[in-house]
Amino acid sequence: MDMNLIPDIVVGRLPRYLQALQRMSEDGHLSTSSQELGDRLGISAAQIRKDLSQFGEFGKQGTGYAIPYLIDQLESILKIKKVWDIALIGAGDLGRAIAHYQGFSNRGFRIALVFDNSREKIGKNIGNFIIQDIADLEKKVREAHIQVAMLTVPASVAQIVAETVVKTGIRAILSYAPTPLNLPDDVHVEYIDPLIQLQHMTYYLG
Amino acid sequence: MDMNLIPDIVVGRLPRYLQALQRMSEDGHLSTSSQELGDRLGISAAQIRKDLSQFGEFGKQGTGYAIPYLIDQLESILKIKKVWDIALIGAGDLGRAIAHYQGFSNRGFRIALVFDNSREKIGKNIGNFIIQDIADLEKKVREAHIQVAMLTVPASVAQIVAETVVKTGIRAILSYAPTPLNLPDDVHVEYIDPLIQLQHMTYYLG
DNA sequence: TCTCTTTTGTGATAAATTTTATTAACCATC
DNA sequence: GATGGTTAATAAAATTTATCACAAAAGAGA
């Protein structure tokens, strides 16, 4: 049986397609082509068609893709027709910036709870949230059925905090800590590390 | 002529190797093996050996790699033996968090100037920086010989701001704006967009 | 010195990803 | 309803990337 296992690299491009389509839609466009979408994203038209065709036939020959329909399909594929609640762990400068960011809603996500371990911060406000004690993480996460975490803690504690997060049943972690996390294979981890990306670019500078 | 053109995907892994080696060094380790390094990073030992061998022979059979030497070599390859000054553009919540972040120094980078276009912000302080008028971007960037920019501006203005940045001669941009930038081929752009990465992960959630 | 274990560097092989080329469908216009 | 210009879907080919497997080198211990 040919299991319909789609390469992760393809899945990773879908959110970019969706983002571009949502922008087009906001600009009043109703349809597009793989060519136009590719030009915007710097991706070949053939690749976009091939990626999308892994999930179904969403376009029409001669016409292209109906934007609202394709957006709807991509949102279903990425499971963001519902809103995912997020536990934000770490109420430092970066955590504060993220808690204030308004761009998650409408896009499938919502910061639901903010945690920290510092006595001075627990109980204080950050945006609309009251900072919770990380000691209560498991209880609160389970109560609220949270399935996604964002980590904005120092690298020195990232591994231990991540293990605590996994104990709560969470299986998706977006980590801003500049260190690799060693977690069970069924936990999905993504990293954001500006230094890594800066160092990647300087390789090419004169 | 077989130009020694190294795949970008290989270059992109070097900063991760460097980061892990620096951590090991701080922990007092003097040597390591491709196996140990790979275990930490979740990368196969063979891939690490092959990647490093593209740049030279840094290890010794039977012994592995001398950590200080390999760190030094990677820093040279990535051109971070010197410190790169960065222009940070956009003094919102995220820009403020980045301006406060202490982790760039020691790793090849330093925020040198902070810009914004808002009357209320220009002249005010953010960390140790005085927020500059974006109208002065080209003059100040050229004066300070800045070659790297970080963009923390709204998506709606990211393209136009990026074009202004490129006019100053900058050829490396790390953008936090959730939109693709259309720039000349000789400009290196990296993106940080948590929403894209969150949506990538939810594909795999139940 | 000899043997055993470890570990690199690398050619060969395998797997994966992307591109190319082809076919068939769609639409507007005449 | 025929024609020409578009465009998606897809099979095949090409390219890129990752893994495998092994010779050679190093060091430790007998």
Which of residues 19 through 38 in chain B touch A, CB cutoff 8 A?
19-20, 23
Contacts of B80 in chain A (CB under 8 A): 199, 202
Which of residues 46 through 75 in chain A touch B, CB cutoff 8 A?
none
Residues B147-154 have a mean pLDDT of 98
DSSP state of B203: T
Encode pLDDT of A55-65 as tens digits: 999 999 999 99
pLDDT band at A1 (very low <50, low <70, confident <90, very high): very low
pTM score, whole prediction: 0.96
The dihedral over CA atoms of A203, A204, A206, B1, expressed in degrees to the nearest 10, equals 110
* Residues in Cβ contact with B25 at an 8 Å cutoff, skipping those fewer than 6 apart: B67, B68, B71
pLDDT of B142 higher than 60: yes
pLDDT of B162 higher than 60: yes
* Residues in Cβ contact with A67 at an 8 Å cutoff, skipping those fewer than 6 apart: A21, A24, A25, A29, A30, A31, A32
Residue pair B151/B98 in contact (Cβ under 8 Å)? The answer is: no
pLDDT the model gives residue B4 = 64
Residues B104-109 have a mean pLDDT of 94
Q: Which uninterrupted H or E stretch holds A86? A: strand A84-89
What is the DSSP annotation of A103-172?
SSTTTTEEEEEEEE--TTTTT-EETTEEEEEGGGHHHHHHHTT--EEEE-S-HHHHHHHHHHHHHTT--E
Encode pLDDT of A146-184 as tens digits: 999 999 999 999 999 999 999 999 999 999 999 999 999
pLDDT the model gives residue A4 = 63
Q: Which residues make beta-bridge pairs with B69?
A: none
Closest CA to A129 of A98, A84, A154, A173: A98
Residues A5-22 have a mean pLDDT of 98
Encode pLDDT of B30-66 as tens digits: 999 999 999 999 999 999 999 999 999 999 999 999 9
Contacts of A193 in chain B (CB under 8 A): 19
Which of the nucleotides in strand D have any atom less than 7 Å away from a protein CB atom?
Answer: 5-11, 16-21, 23-27
> Which of A86, A180, A188 minimises the CB distance to B41?
A180
In degrees and rounded to multiples of 5, residue A116 shows phi and psi of -155, 165
Closest CA to B140 of B171, B164, B104, B105: B164
pLDDT the model gives residue B206 = 86
